[in-house]
């Protein structure tokens, strides 16, 4: 026969569960290689675009899209930031894939805008310049998107 637990013991157990949930939420994210890979591909497409053959740049962009979609369907859930832990889907914001897709579209628009501005200013390698600026933003700011997702998950946990 089980003994009844006290109110203090129950509160301690609930606090421990809450702390473990916070630890799991801290693992929500994307692997570091993802950000560096996207940034490197972004610069490569910019360089290819500056080389002059529009069909090659179009093909490289298409290949990037295919490769990214293959990778994204596995990691965009934010549930597999490391091999040590897979986070349950309910812990991760359902809007994470949409946020990341929107960020990719915005980065494309920024790259095109910067490229046009650099070209109008007479830069010889406007696409490369624009893609390097955006690649720096990808590596520097990309993980911040996941920080926002973790904060939101923490707020949902606390609610």
Rounded-to-integer distance, Cα 14 and Cα 1, Å: 22
Tens-digit pLDDT profile for residues 105-134: 999 999 999 999 999 999 889 999 999 999
Rounded Cα gap, residues 81 and 95, in angstroms: 17
Q: What is the pLDDT of residue 85?
A: 60
- CB under 8 Å to 61, separation ≥6 — which residues? 45
Residue scoring higher pLDDT (26 or 80)? 26
In a domain, 2, yes or no: no
Q: Is residue 134 part of a domain?
A: yes
Say how many domains are in the chain: 1
Q: Which residues contact 157 (CB under 8 A, 6 or more apart)?
A: 18, 21, 22, 25
| Whether residue 93 has pLDDT greater than 60 | no
Choose among 107, 103, 117, 98: nearest CA to 42: 107
Query: Count H helices, E strands: the chain?
Result: 5, 0
**Segment 61-79, tens digit of pLDDT:** 999 989 988 887 777 655 5
User: pLDDT tens across 19-36, in order?
Assistant: 777 777 676 677 888 889
Domain that holds residue 127: 7-158
Is 72 part of a structural domain of the chain?
Answer: yes
Q: What is the pLDDT of residue 76?
A: 67
């Amino acid at each position: 026969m089980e003994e009844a637990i006290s109110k203090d013991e129950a509160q301690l157990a609930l606090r421990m569960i809450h702390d473990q949930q916070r630890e799991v939420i801290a693992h929500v994210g994307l692997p570091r290689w993802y950000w560096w890979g996207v940034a490197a591909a972004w610069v490569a497409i910019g360089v290819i675009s500056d080389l002059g053959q529009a069909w090659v740049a179009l093909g490289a962009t298409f290949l990037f899209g295919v490769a990214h979609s293959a990778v994204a369907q596995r990691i965009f859930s934010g549930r597999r930031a490391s091999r040590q832990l897979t986070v349950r889907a309910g812990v991760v914001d359902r809007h994470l894939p949409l946020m990341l897709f929107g960020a990719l579209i915005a980065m494309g628009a920024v790259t095109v805008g910067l490229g046009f501005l650099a070209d109008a200013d007479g830069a010889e390698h406007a696409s490369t310049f624009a893609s390097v600026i955006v690649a720096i933003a990808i590596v520097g700011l990309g993980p911040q998107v996941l920080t926002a997702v973790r904060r939101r998950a923490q707020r949902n946990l606390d609610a």
